[in-house]
């Protein structure tokens, strides 16, 4: 029997259909053929966070009821998966389940499968959003909270009556943003929402591609904060994260406005950009301004952490590495020197 050495091969051998989603940064699909290249070491993992690949594998048979694994693998210095770790996880799976992958497991088998160093549990917010995303992709029914959430976002229940709205209902609406007028409902509701449902909604929006009108509304809200003279930095940070899936020009406009101001370039805003909206830093001039503002926070530990995290992203690596050998400003130069010193320590 042929030895199975990759997750892709194991899934293909099982006879199931499957899909891969990054979970470390945003919930976003990774094409199956691209994942095969990643496993072959032909390309680095595209969305590393803290030098690890954190992703979900959903697989299903003709019933379309998916089985899901949440996996975390450490990456090497090039951002590549380390094959021995993948092989070890495959051995755990085959020992517990066999090659078909859809057997009903005994409690002992389940314990054997979950008791390994490569599975992890995402936080509740991300778990809710992921389940909404995969059920939408497979055209499965929504959760029991969906219709109630839709009703709430019409305003008919009263904006203050948010306590009975389930997070899963909000994530169902976001995962189906282009269906049943959900995008329009959310856009019209957003200025009326009390703080708890507003932040729950913004957190869910981080993981989807935004309709243009909804993205423009989020930018308007941020600009209103900026022009108020007393901006709520944490609200602006949440908006920056929620705009991760916005059309590039909307996110770029807001990012440039924020980076033009020392006050608005608060570390919470910078963390939001780095964690969710990092792709906007692929522009070298903007990346340099971002790092300067990060240096100006005076938080060298945060500078070191975010630089190390961002430079592992394949799309940013060659944007950021050249800055180590230039002196664009005294403050940034000093932070970069300290970064290199701490790396050698």
Q: Which of 139, 125, 68 has the alpha carbon at shortest distance from 101?
A: 68
What are 148-153's contacts with CB under 8 Å, separation 24+?
149/173, 150/180, 150/182, 150/185, 152/197, 153/185, 153/186, 153/189
Tokens 């259909």: give the residue.
17
Tokens 């054997």: give the residue.
112
pLDDT at residue 1, rounded to an integer? 44
pLDDT digits (tens, 9 = 90+) for 128-157: 999 999 999 999 999 999 999 999 999 999
Calpha distance 108→102 (Å, rounded): 16
pLDDT at residue 65, rounded to an integer? 87
Beta bridge pairs of residue 71 = 55, 119
pLDDT at residue 171, rounded to an integer? 98
**14, 58 Cβ separation under 8 angstroms:** no
Calpha distance 275→277 (Å, rounded): 6
**Which residue stretches of the chain have pLDDT < 70?**
1-2, 99-100, 102-105, 109, 327, 345
**pTM score over 0.85:** yes
User: What tokens appear for 155 in the block?
Assistant: 């305003």
H/E/C letters for each residue in the chain?
A: CCCCCCHHHHHHHHCCEEEEEECCCCCEEECHHHHHHHHCCCCCCCCCECCEEEEEEEEECCCCCCEEEEEEEEECCCCCECHHHHHHHHHHHHHHHCCCCCCCCCHHHHHHHHCCCCECCCCHHHHHHHHHHHHHHCCCCCCCCHHHHHHHHCCCCCCCCCCCCCHHHHHHHHHCCCCCCHHHHHHHHCCCCCHHHHHHHHHHHCCCCCCHHHHHHHHHHHHHHHHCCCCCHHHHHHHHHHHHHCCHHHHHHHHHHHHCCCCCCCHHHHHHHHHCCHHHHHCHHHHHHHHHHHHHCCCHHHHHHHHHHHHCCHHHHHHHHHHHHCCCCHHHHHHHHHHHHHHHC
Length of the chain: 345
Rg (CA), the chain: 22
């Amino acid at each position: 029997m042929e030895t199975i050495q990759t997750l892709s091969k194991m899934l293909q051998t099982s006879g199931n259909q499957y899909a891969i989603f990054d979970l470390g940064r945003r919930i976003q699909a990774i094409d199956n053929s691209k994942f095969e290249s990643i496993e072959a070491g032909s390309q680095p993992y595209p969305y590393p966070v803290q030098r690890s690949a954190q992703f979900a594998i959903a697989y299903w048979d003709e019933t379309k009821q998916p089985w899901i694994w949440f996996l975390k693998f450490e990456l090497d210095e090039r951002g590549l998966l380390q094959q021995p770790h993948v092989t070890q996880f495959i051995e755990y799976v085959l020992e517990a389940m066999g090659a078909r992958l859809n057997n009903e497991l005994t409690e002992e088998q389940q314990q054997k499968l979950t008791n390994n160093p490569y599975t992890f549990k995402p936080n509740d917010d991300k778990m809710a959003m992921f389940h909404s995303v995969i059920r939408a992709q497979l055209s499965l029914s929504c959760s029991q909270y969906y219709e109630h959430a839709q009703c709430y976002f019409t305003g008919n229940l009263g904006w203050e009556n948010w306590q009975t709205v389930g997070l899963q209902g909000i994530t169902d609406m976001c995962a189906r943003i282009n269906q049943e007028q959900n995008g329009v409902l959310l856009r019209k509701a957003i200025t009326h929402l009390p703080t708890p449902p507003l932040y729950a909604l913004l957190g869910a929006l981080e993981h989807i591609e935004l309709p243009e009108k909804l993205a423009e509304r989020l930018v308007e809200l941020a600009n209103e904060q900026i022009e108020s003279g007393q901006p709520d930095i944490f609200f602006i940070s949440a908006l920056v994260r929620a705009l991760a899936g916005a059309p590039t020009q909307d996110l770029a406009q807001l990012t440039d406005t924020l980076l033009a101001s020392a006050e608005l370039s608060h570390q919470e805003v910078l963390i939001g950009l780095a964690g969710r909206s990092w792709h906007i830093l692929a522009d070298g001039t903007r990346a340099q301004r971002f790092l300067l503002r990060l240096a100006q926070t005076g938080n060298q530990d945060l500078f070191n952490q975010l630089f190390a995290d961002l430079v592992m992203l394949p799309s940013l690596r060659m944007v950021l590495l050249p800055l180590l050998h230039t002196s664009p400003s005294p403050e940034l130069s000093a932070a970069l020197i300290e970064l290199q010193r701490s790396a050698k320590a």
